[in-house]
A and B are shown apart, each in its own frame.
Chain A
Amino acid sequence: MKNKFILCVIYLSLSGCCGMTDFLNTKELCADQIFTETRQVTIKSSYSVDENKIWLIANKITGSDVKKALQIPTQAHTLKSVSVTSAKINYTRASENSSASFYLNLGAIASDGSFDLLLLKQQNQVLPLFDIPEVPLITKAVNINEYLNGKAISELNKALARYITVADVADISFIMTGEPFPKNSRTKFNLDFTLNVTAVYEICRYVPLGQGERVCE
C-alpha cells in the first residue's frame, strides 16, 4: 500500500492524468473540453460521354454521401466551416473519338431548387481532345482553380455545410454540359471532376483540464 501511495503521489505531482480520476474517486482532473478538428475530403464526380451533339449529364450526390465522405465523428459537434480548397478535372479520350475538342460547362443544382450554380467563370470552356497523346489517352489532372466562379464556390461552401448540419436536405447534382467540336463529330471520353473540401468542426474530448479550448457545456 505504501508503494502504491508513493507512486500515485509522484505521478499526480507530475501531471493531471485522466485515468486517475476513477482510481482516486475524484472528478477534478479532467473534463470534456472543446477541440477544433479538421477533415479533408475529395468529392469526385465522374462522367462518361459518347455523343455527337450537345450533351447534359448529372451526377447526384446526397447529404449522406457528403457526411460519409467527410467522416466527421458521430458524437455531438459544431460545424465551423466548410471550404472548397481546390478543383481539378482529368479526362480520358477513347480511341474512337473523332472530336478535336469540346465545350464544357460545370454546374451544381439542388433538387429542391434552392441553388443553381455555374461553377466555372467562363461558359463553354474549351478542352482539347486531340492534344491528348495516343498512349495513355489520358490528361494529367488539370487544376481549374483559376477558372472557378468565386461567388458560386462561396454558395457551394454554404450548401455543403447544410449537408453536414441538416439531416433532411435536398440532393445536389453536379451537372456537366458540353458540345463537340467540330459539330456533329463523335466525342467519346471520360471526365472526372474533383473538388477538395475541408470541414472544420468543434468537438468535445475528455482530457486533462486546461488542454482544450474551453470546457464543453
Chain B
Amino acid sequence: MKHILSLILVVCLQSSLLQGQKVEDLFDAYVDENSAGYIQPLADLFTANLHTGTREWSSIDTSFYIRIGMVASISYPSTKQKTFLAKTDPDFTPLVAGDTRVPTIIGSIQPVYVDGVNSTQYVYPGGYNLGSFPLATPQVTIGGIFHTEFMGRYFAFELDDDLGKISMLGLGLRHSLNPYLKMIPLDLSIGYLYQKFEDAPYLVHNTHLMSLHVGKSGRIWSAQLIGAFQSARTDIEYQYTRNAETKVNKINLSNKQAMAIELSAALRLAFINVHSSIQYSGSVTAAAGVSLQF
C-alpha cells in the first residue's frame, strides 16, 4: 500500500513538472522581475489543488470516528492564467514596459519575439502547455470529539533527477455550529486548515484555509457547500548560471485568489466513504476521494 501511495505521489509530481528536467530548468526562463508573473499561476493552481476535497462529510458525528483515505485532485488552468503582462529586459532597446502579453509557465509553448533596434531581438520564453495539474494526498480524519474533527495529511519522499526532496504536512480542524444553532435544519460548521508543501531545497508552499460549511447529510449521503478564504505563500529559491557565474534567484509569491467556493457530495457504503468535489478559485479544481471509516 505504501508503495502504491508513493508511486502515485511521485507520478503526479513528475508528470506535472516534466520528467528528466531539473527544477531550475523549469524556473530560470526568467531571472528578472518577470519571474513572479511567469510562475504565479502554477502556485495558484497548487493552492487550489491542496484546498479541494479536504472535508469529506457535511456533518460531524457526535460519536468517535476515524477516516483513513486518499484524495486525488486535479486543477484546470483558466485562459487568463496562461498569459501575463511582461516587461523586456532593461538593457533592451526600445524598452517595452509591461504591455506585452506572453506565456506563463503553464501557457503556450511558443516563445514571443520582440524586435529591437539594429537587429537585436528580445525573446519571451514559452511555457509548458500544462492542461491540468494533478495531485494525490493521503488523509486521516479523526472526529466526534466535542463536535470537532481533526484532519491530518503527511508524506515525504525523495525524487530522482535532482527534483528535490518532497514533504507535505497538513493539519486542520472543523467545529460544528449545530449545538449552538439547534433551530437550523442544516449542517453548519467552520474549519481551518494549514498545509505546508516543501520541495527542498527549491520550494516552500504554505497555505491557510478558513472555511464555512453549509450542508445536509443522511445516513449514507452528504452534500455541502463550502465558502472559504484562502491565503498562500510560495517561496522559490534556485541557482542559475550566467556567464560562468552561479547566482541565486529568490521568488516570493502570494496567492492571487483569496476566495474559494466548493460543492461537495459523498456516499457512505458500510465503512467505505466515497466523495467528490468541485471548487472554483480563479481556476476549476475537481477532486475525488475514497476513505475507510471506523
Tell yes or no: A150 within 8 A of B by CB. Answer: yes
List B contacts of A4 (CB < 8 A). 1, 4
Tell yes or no: B45 within 8 A of A by CB. Answer: no
How many residues on the A side are at the interface (Cβ–Cβ under 8 A)?
59
A213's nearest neighbour on chain B, judged by CB, is B109
Given B31, B121, B129, which contacts A198 in the complex, CB threshold below 8 Å? Answer: B121
Q: CA–CA, A200 to B289, complex, Å?
A: 42
Q: CA–CA, A143 to B1, complex, Å?
A: 61
If A7-B8, A148-B118 touch, does A83 touch B123 (CB 8 Å cutoff)? yes
Tell yes or no: A166 within 8 A of B by CB. Answer: no
Q: CA–CA, A196 to B88, complex, Å?
A: 13
Tell yes or no: A215 within 8 A of B by CB. Answer: no
Tell yes or no: A11 within 8 A of B by CB. Answer: yes
Q: CA–CA, A157 to B136, complex, Å?
A: 46
> Closest Cβ of chain A: how far from B237's Cβ, in Å?
19
List B contacts of A44 (CB < 8 A). 243
List B contacts of A210 (CB < 8 A). 131
Given B92, B117, B244, which contacts A69 in the complex, CB threshold below 8 Å? Answer: B244
Given B7, B10, B122, B243, which contacts A85 in the complex, CB threshold below 8 Å? Answer: B122
Tell yes or no: A135 within 8 A of B by CB. Answer: no
Q: For chain B, residues 125 to 160, give those with C-beta under 8 angstroms from any C-beta of chain A.
A: 125-126, 128-132, 134, 136
Q: CA–CA, A133 to B243, complex, Å?
A: 28
Do residues B134 and A17 form an inter-chain contact, with CB atoms below 8 A?
Answer: yes
List B contacts of A205 (CB < 8 A). 18-21
Q: CA–CA, A40 to B89, complex, Å?
A: 11
Do residues A154 and B4 form an inter-chain contact, with CB atoms below 8 A?
Answer: no
Interface code A116-154, partner B: CB below 8 Å = 1, 0 otherwise?
A: 000001000000000000000000000101101111011
Given A36, A41, A85, A207, which contacts B121 in the complex, CB threshold below 8 Å? Answer: A85
List A contacts of B72 (CB < 8 A). 7, 10-11, 14
Tell yes or no: B186 within 8 A of A by CB. Answer: no
- Please choose the segment from A18-26, A47-55, A96-104, A169-177 that sits at the chain B interface, where 4 or more of its residues have CB less than 8 A away: A18-26
Q: CA–CA, A198 to B122, complex, Å?
A: 8
Interface code A60-77, partner B: CB below 8 Å = 1, 0 otherwise?
A: 000000001101010000
Do residues B14 and A19 form an inter-chain contact, with CB atoms below 8 A?
Answer: yes
Tell yes or no: B284 within 8 A of A by CB. Answer: no
List B contacts of A14 (CB < 8 A). 72-74, 132, 134, 286, 288
Q: For chain A, residues 1 to 43, give those with C-beta under 8 angstroms from any C-beta of chain B.
A: 3-4, 6-7, 10-11, 13-20, 23, 30, 34-38, 40-43
Do residues A206 and B19 form an inter-chain contact, with CB atoms below 8 A?
Answer: yes
- By a beta-carbon cutoff of 8 Å, the part of chain B in contact with chain A is 1, 4, 7-8, 10-12, 14-15, 18-21, 25, 29, 31, 70, 72-74, 89, 91-93, 109-111, 113, 116-123, 125-126, 128-132, 134, 136, 241-244, 286, 288-290
